[in-house]
Amino acid sequence: MRKLALAALAGLAALMASGTAMAGKDLDAIKARGTLICGVAANGLAGFMVVSSQGKWTGLDVDVCRAVAASIFGDAEKVKYVPVSGEQRFTALQSGEVDMLSNNTTDTLQRDTALGLDFGAVTYYDGQGFMVNKKLGVKSAKEISGASVCVPSGSTTELNMADYARANKISFKPVVIADMDQIRQAFFAGRCDVYTGDSSRLYSSRAANVPPPLTPDDFIVLPEIISKEPLAPAFRHGDNQFGDIVRWSQYAMLEAEEYGITSQNVDEMLKSENPSIKRILGVTPGMGKALGVDEKWVYNIVKQVGNYGESFERNVGQGSPLKIDRGLNKLWTKGGLQYAPPIR
């Protein structure tokens, strides 16, 4: 028994000393296929995942898929995007139709456990809010008692709304609709007084989906946020290395922003004498080997996708039609919640 125990310890020590990640079946399948399959929202979401008339997907969530592809293949374009509905997305992931979801999915305990999923780092710290037509004359969510409220069926949004109403003694008439596109249409057509959902979705809908003769200025997002909605990519239990690659690809974008590494200066940053930057960009090798990818994995992400700040600003921030303030999504050094463990 003592010999067996010593042999097991020796094997474990050898594995740890190698510093090389062990591939799993999901990652093996992705590499053999030569393409990452990423599940995105069926009807898109401006700023987060939207497809052009030429079939090109862009957005904050899309950039996460691109970053993962850059880590695995060295090419951010090796992604196939599969649109899935809110109700079908988890089945699509569980069945293997997609390798990962990056489509405004809230990380919750039951999704993380009962559904057999794992979540990456938080892409966007969100919360449920409310949007109304200005002509309703409402300035606070506490003034919507008696109003009709559009909510997606079978969602945390529906449950949060019910909890908020009970806690604040508000009565409301739920208009429950399964399809997100139909919810937007119902709200803008006046079938309900209030549209509730993740505030990111509300800003997106206001910027991209208001039908004429109405304009985005006809609608306001109320100040109340009634829930925590940490939006993160999801992937199946069982392949730890693929999960690590998803997670650390996100962290790499944050670390790059923190150290001032951008898509524009990343080549110059290769000459930096800062030990942390040298590790991050693979000038000092070891981090790629530990993750089981090329040593230039972070360089490839930043060069082809950008750091987190660049992605945020062009997709949903001040450089976009949404013009969402970074708020909680600022780096921790600037008063936000975005914080990455060190790449070392």
Write down the pLDDT at residue 2: 52
Residue 8: the pLDDT is 47
Return the H-helix or E-strand segment holding 253: helix 240-258
Alpha-carbon distances, residue 40 vs 49, 123, 177, 241, 323 (angstroms) = 7, 14, 20, 22, 22
Q: Return d(Cα 298, Cα 68) in angstroms, integer.
A: 10
Beta strands 100-101; 36-41: pairing state:
parallel
- The reported pTM is 0.86
pLDDT at residue 156 in the model: 78
| DSSP bridge partners of 175 | 150
pLDDT under 70: residue ranges of the chain: 1-23
What is the domain partition of the chain in residue ranges? 21-125+231-334, 128-227
Eight-class DSSP state of 331:
B
Pick among 3.40.50.720, 3.40.190.10, 3.40.50.300, 3.40.640.10: CATH of 128-227: 3.40.190.10
CB atoms within 10 A of CB 230: 18
Helix (H, G, I), strand (E, B) or coil at 285: coil
Same fold, 21-125+231-334 and 128-227: yes
Q: Measured in whole angstroms, how far is the alpha carbon of residue 207 from the centre of its chain?
A: 19
Handedness of CA 318, 322, 327, 331 (dihedral sign): negative
Three-state secondary structure call for residue 202 = helix
CATH code of 21-125+231-334, in short, is 3.40.190.10
